[in-house]
Amino acid sequence: MRIPLSVALSLLVALPAGAQTPAKPTRLGLCAACHGSTGHASMPGVPNLAGQQLDYLRDALKQYRDGRRNVPIMRAAIGPVSDAELDALARWYSAQSPQPRAHP
Ligand code: HEC
């Protein structure tokens, strides 16, 4: 079966964009309530995550999940997630560009 040229071209155009931006993790909604969907915290006392090192974010999330970082607010938020879910969340926030704060 032959693939129409228009379909082939649209696939070529779509691929690079998909490779650069990680897919939005399914669990992002909860995190966004405190950290913002782009990793810019929306409330005092919550750290920004945008552009943070990927391995640091991944380790931090594992530490909350496994109790080595025993901070109840984050332990409750992260819950019993899989390594794959942690990885998706870490990749998402690491890929965001840090923005200057709105209020100095
Ligand atoms: C209710 C608010 C709240 C929610 C919801 C929340 N967090 Fe947090 N998060 C915090 C606070 C507060 C801290 C700082 C905790 C500490 O002192 O270790 C934190 C810390 C972190 C850190 C460590 C940052 C660092 O610099 O060490 C990561 C990574 C993180 N959160 C990711 C997430 C992800 C991913 C989700 C969604 C599953 C999430 N958080 C949901 C409030 C929240």
pLDDT tens-place string over residues 11-38: 555 554 445 678 899 999 999 999 999 9
Asked if 39 contacts 51 with a C-beta cutoff of 8 angstroms, the reply is: yes
Q: What is the CA(38)–ligand 1 centre distance, in A? A: 13
Report which ligand 1 atom has the smallest distance to the Cα of 93: 35
Compute the distance between CA of residue 55 and CA of residue 52 in angstroms, rounded to an integer: 9
Q: What is the CA(104)–ligand 1 centre distance, in A? A: 23
Q: What is the CA(100)–ligand 1 centre distance, in A? A: 20
| pLDDT the model gives residue 21 | 76
Residue nearest (by alpha carbon) to ligand 1 atom 29: 57
Is the four-CA dihedral 19, 28, 96, 10 of positive or negative sign?
A: positive
Q: What is the CA(56)–ligand 1 centre distance, in A? A: 13
Q: Across residues 82-101, what is the average pLDDT?
A: 95
pLDDT tens-place string over residues 59-82: 999 999 999 999 999 999 999 999
| pLDDT the model gives residue 1 | 67
CA distances from 20 to 43, 91, 96 (A): 29, 11, 11
